Amino acid sequence: MAPPDANLAPDLPPDIINPPEDPNQLAARMKLEEMKKWWWLLGQQDIHNVAPKAVEYGSADLRIMGAAMQGLLEKAAIASGIDTPPNAGLEMAIAFYALGKAARLFGAYEQGKIPSNDTWDDLRIYATMGKRVRETGEWP
C-alpha cells in the first residue's frame, strides 16, 4: 500500500500523514516475513522431495477407501437430512490416513523416540492431497 500523498493534506504534520510504525506491528511484520520465507523454502523442497512421494502413493486404495467413507456419509446424510458433498468420502479417507500418521507420532513419543521428519512430510502430503481433492474433486 502506497503512503498517503502529503500534498493532499499539507497542513498536517508529517508524523500524522506517515506515523511511525508501532514496534509491536514492526516485530509482527518481520515475523510474518520470516515465516513466508521459511514456508516458501519448504515448498521448494517439497516440490523436489515430497511431490514424487505423493505421486507414488497413487489413488487406487484412496478410491476404495473414499467410496467406503462416502457410503457411510450418505447413510448419515439420509438419517440427518443433510447433503453430502460428492468428494467428502475422499477427504475423509485422506483424513483417516493422516490420523494414522498422527498416531505414529504419538506412538514414537510414548516409546521415548523422536518421530522422523518423514512422518511430518507425510502429514503435509496428506494435507495437500485433501486440498487438491477439495479444489479439483480428485486425486490423480
Would you state the cell numbers that stand for residue 50, as one nine-digit string? Answer: 515430497
Q: What are the residue boundaries of the structural domains of the chain, listed by start?
A: 46-136
Residue 140 CA to residue 134 CA, distance in Å, equals 13
Q: What share of the chain is helix, strand, coil (3-state, %, to 5)?
A: 75, 0, 25
Residue 22 CA to residue 43 CA, distance in Å, equals 31
pLDDT digits (tens, 9 = 90+) for 69-86: 988 888 877 777 778 888
Q: What is the pTM of this model?
A: 0.71
Residue 86 CA to residue 74 CA, distance in Å, equals 10
pLDDT digits (tens, 9 = 90+) for 9-33: 556 566 555 666 777 777 788 888 8
* CA-to-CA dists, residue 71 to 35, 55, 65, 75, 139, angstroms: 40, 26, 10, 6, 18
The stretch 42-50 carries a mean pLDDT of: 83
